[in-house]
């Protein structure tokens, strides 16, 4: 199908900075500078048909793979099979399909996810307050966060609010929604305001939450690529859903077994799947 230059540029803008930089290198261009500098160089290069076809092949035919949303404990809550390269749009699609929007989302491009999601839902903005940042982007907050002195307590992550907010999450009682960077990508940003999206600012999360569970899952799943990639799309999706189901089941059974090792109390699951220990 015919793809315009503007359409292709929009797809490039959705790629991560590292992916754009690699694309620029493969086209034989200078790879230094910001994302916009790289895109401008590619746009100038694509004035020739041969360069346009080369960029199109690398961007549009790139394998998207899987996008997943997981709990810190490793349970997979949602999966999307991508035909194109991963972008915040894919995670926004999954988040907006949830009955209850998560209070805290950890992603390697948190600012892009928050911006895209809020633009998709302008009437009822999902990521708020402060556009999903932990504090208002005032100079004193930015300076304090950069020094590591700023702490933002979210006590409802451990104990549900006694008086729940309007349209709150049923497990926390809070209607606040934050988009934070995972630890290994929080330094890969040029926006000074993104220092207010660090996990380390939240005492209830710092040192407790594992922000790399998705990377660990993909590391284990790579051994299945040799047969999954040979299947038809329908068979691939069916088998992948089966693998994920068994992954979640085995992880839940292991967690319950670990709890029983330290306590003989009866454990039941409520309507949302949360484990409740009897007295």
Token digits of residue 159: 């104990």
Same domain, 107 and 70: yes
Give the pLDDT confidence score for residue 97 in this predicted structure. 93
Residue 209 in any domain: the answer is: yes
Q: Is residue 220 part of a domain?
A: no
Give the mean pLDDT of 69-97: 88
Interhelix angle 35-45/49-60, nearest 10 degrees: 130
* 96 has pLDDT over 90: yes
Q: Alpha-carbon distance 55 to 169, whole Å?
A: 43
Percent of the chain with pLDDT over 90: 38
pLDDT band at 214 (very low <50, low <70, confident <90, very high): confident
Q: What is the pLDDT of residues 222-248, one digit of tens each?
A: 888 888 878 888 898 899 999 999 999
| DSSP per position, 168-186 | --TTT-----EEEE-TTTT
Do residues 123 and 37 share a domain?
no
DSSP letter at 278 equals -
Q: Bigger pLDDT: 23 or 232?
A: 232
- 39 and 84, same domain (yes or no): no
For residue 222, being part of any structural domain is answered with no
- 204 pLDDT band, cuts 50/70/90, is very high
Q: How many domains does the chain have?
A: 3
Contact 27, 47 (CB under 8 A): no
Show the domain range for 244: 231-277
- Residues 52, 69 within the same domain: no
- Structural contact between residues 24 and 55, judged by C-beta atoms closer than 8 angstroms: no
- Looking at the fold, whether 147 and 239 belong to one and the same domain comes out as no
> Is the four-CA dihedral 75, 80, 83, 88 of positive or negative sign?
negative
Of 177, 54, 182, residue with least CA distance to 126 = 177
Is residue 250 assigned to a domain? yes
Q: Is the pLDDT of residue 60 over 80?
A: no
Question: Do you find a cis peptide bond into 129, omega within 30 degrees of 0?
Answer: yes
């Amino acid at each position: 199908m015919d793809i315009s230059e503007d359409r292709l540029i929009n797809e490039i803008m959705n790629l991560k900075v590292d992916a754009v930089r690699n694309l620029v290198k493969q086209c034989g261009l200078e790879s230094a500078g910001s994302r916009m500098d790289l895109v401008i160089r590619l746009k100038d290069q694509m004035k020739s048909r041969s360069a346009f076809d080369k960029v199109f092949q690398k961007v549009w035919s790139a394998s998207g793979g899987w996008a997943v949303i997981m709990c810190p404990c490793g349970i997979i809550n949602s999966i999307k099979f991508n035909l194109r390269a991963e972008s915040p749009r894919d995670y926004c699609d999954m988040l907006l399909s949830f009955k209850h929007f998560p209070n805290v989302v950890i992603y390697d491009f948190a600012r892009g996810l928050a911006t895209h999601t809020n633009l998709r839902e302008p009437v009822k903005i999902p990521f708020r307050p402060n556009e999903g940042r932990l504090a208002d982007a005032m100079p004193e907050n930015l300076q304090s966060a950069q020094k590591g002195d700023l702490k933002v307590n979210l006590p409802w992550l451990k104990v549900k609010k006694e008086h729940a907010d309007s349209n709150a999450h049923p497990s926390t009682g809070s209607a606040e929604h934050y988009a934070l960077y995972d630890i290994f990508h929080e330094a890969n940003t040029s926006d000074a305001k993104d220092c207010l999206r660090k996990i380390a600012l939240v005492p209830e999360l710092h040192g407790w939450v594992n922000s790399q569970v998705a990377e660990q899952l993909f590391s284990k799943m790579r051994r299945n690529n040799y047969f999954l990639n040979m299947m038809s799309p329908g068979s691939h999706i069916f088998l992948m859903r089966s693998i994920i189901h068994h992954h979640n089941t085995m992880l839940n059974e292991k967690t319950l077994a670990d709890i029983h090792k330290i306590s003989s109390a009866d454990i039941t699951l409520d309507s949302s799947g949360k484990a409740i220990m009897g007295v």
